[in-house]
Structure formats: structure tokens, C-alpha cells
Amino acid sequence: MGQIALKADRVLTPTKELTDVAIIVEKDIIKKIIPSNEIPQNMDVLYHPNTIAAPGFIDIHIHGYHGCDSTSGKESCFAQMSKSLLKHGVTSYLPTTVTQSQEVLLKICNVLKSVIKRGVNGAEILGLHLEGPYIGKGKEVGAQNVDFARNPDIKELMELIENSGNNIRRITLAPELPGALELIKYVKEKGIIVAAGHTNATYKEAILGFNAGVTICNHLFNGMRPFHHREPGIVGAYFVRDDLYAEMIADMIHLHPEVINAIIKMKGTEKIILITDAIAGTCLPDGEYELGGLRTIIKDGISRIETTGRLAGSTLRMDVAIKNIVTNLGVDLKDAIRMATSNPAEAMKLSNYGRLAPGCVADIVVLDSNLDVLITMCRGKVLYSTK
């Protein structure tokens, strides 16, 4: 029947923890989850002792990896990223661009269209995430190139969507900019997810953005107006709304660990999304790298823009982000996994991703007791294994 039984001592679905079960995979789909003693005798069994199985990680905000930069628009980069990400348990992702000229973004859209059409032998590309170019020009610009930051332009965006072959799945913008609310409504109708980021939105402006269709706060606290008790800004708007997802870069540098702790205490774990915001220098030694045309220096694993010294993405890997919040903050492993799997899937409206359940895509990661990745199964195929 071409079925395989993947057995682990602990299976995190991730909302439930199951023990002594096997995940039955057929082709690229999870068929069912059964008690281990019910595995048919003639079925192939994949099992290593003392392991944890969880859904493959989903990174919805990642700029680069292992020498590759999404914004470079090089075709080979996407294939290489897809391959490198397997080692760290990522089975699907949104390559993320930074603020650039329309010409550069058009090129990336066209390249990505053909890469997706052809398919990759690695982590699945779920579509493109445009971070910018419709972002603020003040401090909130962060590591984005201010020269290309501009006001929302539906016509320009339409051209990008068309050239991508409708593969733009998410856009991050500043909701306070002229024309932003109109653009949010427009892309929402097309099924594109909108995040607010690199924004100086006041509380009022943020609420208007949320009401227009923003559903995610792009790396919460980073690249946005800080919280103030007389002008709570977008952070305060997030605090009082239960319907918003918030991304967090859990490298313990972008956010003080206790800030992550406080948010979890205040909001629970249902709508927090772990992202890496990783750049090309991730998994490589300290040195000089590039982020969308700007030179970045990585020293002691911390990436900064050479000219401004501002943090420029991260060198975080998703398996490390999970480990960080489990070991430094004592977050329950199930909850940590959820923030890297079912939460991002829900935020992106991908109902059959990010969960171990019948009918879901067979994207599965097997971890050892140190939470290191042993096996990464992508769409039913073991594409990475240390065993």
C-alpha cells in the first residue's frame, strides 16, 4: 500500500501529547495515528528510541539562510534554502524580501514563480512574503533600506502579484501610511495575509489597520513604535485585541527573555508565532554578508547593518528558537512546538499544515531528547536524517 509507520516515544500533535502511537503516512499525507501495538506486521516502521515526533516547523518570516538571500532573486538560492532548512526541522516557509525597488521585486516575483512551478527538493515554498516596501521611514525602518520605503500603491502591488503567478501569500506594511487601509482591504480580498510591521502606527492607527484586515504583528516590539502609557501605539493595540497573531524572534537578543515571558503570561500561547527573521549569514561563520543590498556584519552571531549598527535580521534557527524558550523560559515543549507549527499554519490559513492529524500534509520532524533534529520528513519523504 506504500504506507509507512513513523513511531516515536512522544508525539506532539501539537495541541495534544500522545505516547506509544505510530503515525501512518501514505504518499504525502498523514493517514491516521494508531496505537503502536496495532501497526500491521508487514508495514515499514521508522523508529528511534527516546524520540519526539512533531509537525515540521513552518517559518513564515525568513530572509536568507546558509549564504542565500531571498532578495538577491537568484534562482539557485531558493533551492539551496529549501535544502538547508531541513537540517533544522523546517518543512515549509515563506521566503521573505526586504524593501527594494519595483524592478528588483519584479525580478524576485518572476524567479519565484518558476521555482514554485518546478518544485524544490526540500522545505516547501509556501509563497512569497513581501516585507515592505510600504513601510515607515523613521527609526521603525530598522534594517530595511529607507531609500526604497514608499507609500502603498495598489497598481504597483498588482503588478507584483501578477508576475509572481499569484504566489504572494503575505505582505507586511505600515498601516498608518496614506493608502494603506485601502490596500489592506484589496489584498485581503485576494486571500493575501497582511501583517503590520516597520510601523510608527499610533494606537488609533493600528486599530484601524486591524479592522481593515491586518491579522499579524510583524516581529512584535522590533521595528515598531515602542509602547508608551500615554500613547500605547501598535503594541498597546495588540495587547487589547485577542484576534491578532504576533511574531517573536526568540534569539534572546531581539527581545529580553522576560518580555517573551510576559507576553505569554498575558496572551497565552495560541497566537504567538516563532519566526527566525534569519539572513544569509545564518549557519555560517561571523563575517560580512548582505541583506537586500545592504552590508551587514555578523559578530558573535549577531547581525547588524554596517552603517547604522541596527540589528539586521538574525542568525537564528527554528530548532534553536524552540530550545531557547523551553530551556530559558520553561515554556512547555508542546506550546513551544505549537508556536512554530500550528500557530503559523493557522495565521496563514493553511488548514492541513502544522498538525499531526489525519488528512494533514505529512511534514514531520523527529527530535532527540536534547531537541536536536534527527529526521525531517517533507510531504511523506525523509529528506534529512542523521541516522
Active site positions, annotated: 277
Of 233-292, binders to Zn ion (CB under 5 A) are 277
Cα separation, 69 vs 58, whole angstroms: 18
Q: Give the nearest distance from C-beta 379 to Zn ion in angstroms.
A: 26
Q: Give the nearest distance from C-beta 355 to Zn ion in angstroms.
A: 26
190: Cβ contacts below 8 Å, ≥ 6 apart: 161, 166
**Nearer Cβ to Zn ion (69/335):** 69
DSSP 245-281: EEEEE-SSSSS-HHHHHHHHHHH-STTEEEE--B-TT
Q: Give the nearest distance from C-beta 184 to Zn ion in angstroms.
A: 19
Whether the CB-CB separation of 293 and 71 falls below 8 Å is answered with yes
Q: Which residue is nearest to Zn ion (CB)?
A: 277
Q: Give the nearest distance from C-beta 248 to Zn ion in angstroms.
A: 12
3-state DSSP call for residue 216? strand
**Nearer Cβ to Zn ion (236/313):** 313
**Nearer Cβ to Zn ion (69/131):** 131
Cell 535580521, located at residue: 313
Q: Give the nearest distance from C-beta 359 to Zn ion in angstroms.
A: 32
Whether the CB-CB separation of 251 and 222 falls below 8 Å is answered with no
363 near Zn ion (CB under 5 A): no
**Nearer Cβ to Zn ion (25/62):** 62
Of 120-139, binders to Zn ion (CB under 5 A) are 131
- 3 state SS for 235-247: HHHHHHCCCCEEE
**Nearer Cβ to Zn ion (277/335):** 277
**Nearer Cβ to Zn ion (53/220):** 220
Identify the CA nearest to 338 among candidates 314, 350, 322: 322
Give how many residues touch Zn ion by CB under 5 A: 2
Q: Give the nearest distance from C-beta 313 to Zn ion in angstroms.
A: 6
DSSP 41-88: TTSEEEE-SS-EEEEPEEEEEE-EETTEEGGG--HHHHHHHHHHHHTT
Cα separation, 86 vs 373, whole angstroms: 9
What single-letter amino acid sits at 191? G
Pair type for strands 287-291 and 294-299: antiparallel
Q: Residue numbers of the site for Zn ion (CB under 5 A)?
A: 131, 277
